Amino acid sequence: MSDTLRIGIIIGSTRPGRVGDQVANWVGEHANRLGDAEYTVVDIADAGLPLLDEAIPASAGRYEHAHTRAWAETIEQFDGFIFVTSEYNHAPSPALLNAFSFIYREWNDKAGAIVSYGAASSGVRAADKLRSTLGELQIADVRQQLMFSFFHDFENFSVFTPGEQHLPGLQALVDQLESWAGALRGVRAAKLEAAAAA
Q: Which CATH superfamily is domain 6-197 in?
A: Flavodoxin domain (3.40.50.360)
Of 45-49, 98-102, 175-179, 191-195, give the lowest mean pLDDT range: 191-195
- Residues 152-174 as b/e (b if ≥16 CB within 10 A, e otherwise) read ebbeeeeebebeeebeeebbbbb
| Residue 198 confidence (pLDDT) | 82
> pLDDT category, 1, cuts 50, 70, 90?
low
Alpha-carbon distance of 140 to 131, in angstroms, equals: 9
Rg (Cα) of the chain, in Å, rounded?
Answer: 16
Residue range 1-24: mean pLDDT, rounded: 94
pLDDT at position 120, please? 78
Gap between the Cα atoms of 133 and 40, Å rounded? 22
- 153-183 residue pLDDT tens: 999 999 999 999 999 999 999 999 999 999 9
Higher-confidence residue: 195 or 30? 30
Q: pTM to 2 decimals?
A: 0.96
Task: Spell out the domain ranges in the chain.
Answer: 6-197
**Read out DSSP for 140-163?**
EEEEEEEEEETTTSEETTTEE---
